[in-house]
Amino acid sequence: MTSGLFNHLIDKEMLRRLFTPAFLQHRYDSYQPGQLVKIALSNPPDFQPGKDWTYTNTGFVLAAMIAEKAAKKTYADLVTQRIIRPLGLSATYVPGAGETRIRGPHATHYSKLSLTPEPQAKLHDVTEMNPSAGWAAGDIVSSTADLDRFFTALLEGKLLPQAQQRAMFATTVVPEGRWTPGSSYGLGMSSVKLSCGTTVWGMGGALPGSWSYAYGTRDATRMLVQNVNGDWNNPIASFTDVLEAEFCTP
C-alpha cells in the first residue's frame, strides 16, 4: 500500500461497471490479471513509491502474478494447496473462469448500484456475477466459519514461516481518511485500535452486494467474523460497533 500504484477498482470505468446500473449489463464480464494491471497503469500513480500510503487492490493482483510465476502454478491451485486443504476449509474456493453462481447454500446479495444511494433507491439482486475484477484481491468464496478458522491459523503463526509472519505484522499507521479509522496496515494484515485501547487484528473486504469483516486478538484466542449482504451505507461503522461490544465490554 506504499507503492503509489493506482487501485484498478476505482478506475472511473470500473466504478461505472461495478457500482452503477451499468452493472446489470457488465455483471458477467471476465477480466484477466494482466488486464487489471493495465487498467491501473492507465491512471497516474497516486505518489512516488514509498512516499505515502493508499489502499490499492492492484497490489494483491501483482503479488499473485509473481506467486504464479515463481511456483509455476495458478493462483487458484496455490490457494487450494497451501490454505484450503491444510485448514480443511469446506466452504471456501476460488471460482473457475466464467463461474458466476455461488455453489451451495448462500445469502442473496443486494445493491442499490450507486456510490451515493438515495434512501428509497431500488434494490437489485447482484448475487450472480463474475468476480474476476477482484481476482487475488477478492475473487474468492468463503463462509464466516471458514474465515474464523483461516484468521485464527494465520494469527497463531500456523501458515507462514516466522520471518514472513513478522513482516506481515510490521504495520504502518494509515493516514486519517484513507481507510478504516484507527487502523494500521502491514502485508495484507491490518489492525484496528478500539476505544478501550484494545487492538484487534484481521482484514475486511467487499464485492457488490457483500461486505465481510474478520478481526480478533493478536493471540487468536478471540475472533469475530461479520458479513452483511448489502453494500450501501458503508457498514464499517456498524462492524466497528460490534467489535467494540465484543472486545471492550467487561
pTM recorded for the entire structure: 0.93
Q: Is the pLDDT of residue 2 over 90?
A: yes
| The pLDDT value given to residue 250 | 79
For residue 29, the number of C-alpha atoms closer than 13 Å in the C-beta half-sphere is 17
Q: What percent of the chain has pLDDT over 70?
A: 100
| The pLDDT value given to residue 234 | 83
| pLDDT tens readout for residues 109-119 | 999 999 888 88
Q: Is the pLDDT of residue 181 over 90?
A: no
| pLDDT tens readout for residues 52-63 | 999 999 999 999
User: Over the chain, what is the mean pLDDT?
Assistant: 95
Mean pLDDT over 37-44 rounds to: 98
Using pLDDT thresholds of 50, 70 and 90, give the confidence band for residue 233.
Answer: confident
| The pLDDT value given to residue 68 | 98
User: According to DSSP H, which parts of the chain are helical?
Assistant: 12-19, 23-26, 33-41, 58-71, 75-79, 85-87, 144-155, 162-168, 236-247
Is residue 216 within a helix (H) or strand (E), and if so which, with residue range?
strand 210-216
| The pLDDT value given to residue 124 | 97
The residues, any chain, with a CB within 8 Å of residue 220's CB and separated by 6 or more, are 151, 152, 153, 155, 156
Q: Could you tell me how many residues make up the chain?
A: 250
> DSSP class of residue 80?
I
| The pLDDT value given to residue 249 | 84
> For the domain 1-100+123-141, what is the CATH code?
3.40.710.10
| pLDDT tens readout for residues 123-138 | 999 999 999 999 999 9
For residue 151, count other CB atoms closer than 10 A to its CB. 21
Buried b (16+ CB within 10 A) or exposed e, 42-64: eeeebeeeeeebbbbbbbbbbeb
Cβ atoms of 102 and 141 within 8 Å: the answer is yes
Burial status of residue 1 (CB atoms within 10 A of its CB: 0-12, 13-18, 19 or more): buried
**Domain coordinates of the chain in residue numbers?**
1-100+123-141, 143-250
Using pLDDT thresholds of 50, 70 and 90, give the confidence band for residue 239.
Answer: very high
